[in-house]
Structure 1
């Protein structure tokens, strides 16, 4: 079937106005009302099919004709992470499935349980560092540090290296055009450190995930050095950025909805509901990484041509009124919140989803138990948001009654 050339509608440029980064959901709603699969020019200047409907997003995430392999389109990369091309995030089956199976085999129940036992203590130690001040930047002082410590423990990063590891991660996460050079240097530093750590684990393996991945590589000869480095780096970046964003977003959602905050304070056992509703309402992965059509395909009744880009909005899908009643309301009593797509869907569903859930439940439980009158110290409209595909504030100032 011959396709007519697709051209973006110039009027769609108005959807990505100055308010879009602060609150993208009205733009997504306007797009979805016209068509849940819409060809447009993104704020990056790239053209793509943007998918904003719940069912259409689920379909796109499982369409075998959509590829995750970035080699199809060098123009779409961020210019900072060429090594990530060998990670399972950016590969299709069968390579994706092979890597996911090998890496996933290192996530043993015993290893996860041992990490869980340290979570509450780690959260309390971090809170101890700022509890007497009566104020903090929740993102830097807590939300980022907790998962960096946990993923560092999981990967086998020596404790004495974790502060430096955190600083590199902080410089890389949420880079802007103004800080791009610093972010590139931070990523180079992370690559160099991870390569040295892998080499050390080959000589002296430990009870950690990198050592387990090295063992899987040596036993099956199916994990190359490039793949080992790329996936170790992926586990570190994905293992803390998403979790940190979720801690910050869940806290922010509570502080902006006093009735839900009161319900949570009255019943801390609602923490599981809180995590799922936060993933739906303001998940840390607003957009999936880019996909490309390997062949002509159809998404939601819309023809997508071979070679065209497809960008899936998980955040938009989770606010689709065709799937969720009153989707713009933050409601801890929502019965179907766990049907969200906040951690993806299909073969690329978040590998560390359960670990992230346990980390965030523990973090929020300890935070609000220790600081019961925690409140926002900035206007919501003044918060700066992480650019790119993630959704989290770059900084989250809080105040509270000092301990002690």
Structure 2
């Protein structure tokens, strides 16, 4: 159990996405007090950014156990377990009702800018574990506030920290300017929705080899069918793209497998022009267009495009945690005990071992990074993984060591699970063409 000096303080949870709200439900169910701090003006802020797209995992993988129990006690009706929700449906039919059920423990517009210990910095060891956490918040009105906590769970995700497009993990010369000019857009744009005019009849380059790239490419393929002057290029650093196609017909998640099959067809029929071994060196303005200069398989290569969609993944922002004692894997920037289990060079999200509080712990007692951010730079995360993480942590904080250590996870194993949707393997899927005589159908990655 925690020291008596902190028992009356809340467990602060940073982020009101699916895993953050699940953490609050588990903390609440254990009889502790959660306090959820969300930087955005609404819950599910990052999910709303790609809300127009559909998950490849059905509802049965997307509802946390404690959250479901809390919702059902308030008269909530469980969605069809086999249906595939869009991001907006995930919010409207699950996260928003969950936030209502949790009540006033959620504060939106509350941006956490630092986490430390009350009255002591990173160098102080005496009585450290019994000292409350200090969580500094910058509110939307410009004011700041310090909140004390018995424990802190960072579920803030990675959506706001995309990987750069240049080589060596660094932005390419001209990349910042191209973003400012709008030539490089945000990941996962609504290509056949609100952002259609930005892409129709243009030469669009998608950079990346994960499920978010596949999703955008499929949307662009549909747009090109309707607007034939739309030109699609796809650039990847690897020598081939077969891994992006995944398990196809052998995938345990049929929607994810169908995505690979459809993408392969677009490449093989020439709808998508592919550039492999494409390593970006710089960006320049070329008569109002974006010139992408890269090292290709046969030498230097220049590609002039109208707009570039990045899909090269995300990385965690650890700056707010600089006063805490963290133990992170040097490669993927996940908790050190978890890092080797999720390294994308060796694992996909279906074969990651179940893990809970022990593997997520740090030298900073009672501090945890969970959800997408817990995977650092590894793009192999599933929501169900995050739900089991926070269940175990809540049990440990309540003093139930046996429950904390009894971790279980049943995930679909077949099919390539790498993606670049902020680290989530639930990368949204593009809609299929409308079937004559019926409604649009959807598939996911």
Q: TM-score, normalised by structure 2?
A: 0.26
- Normalized per residue, the structure richer in helix is 1
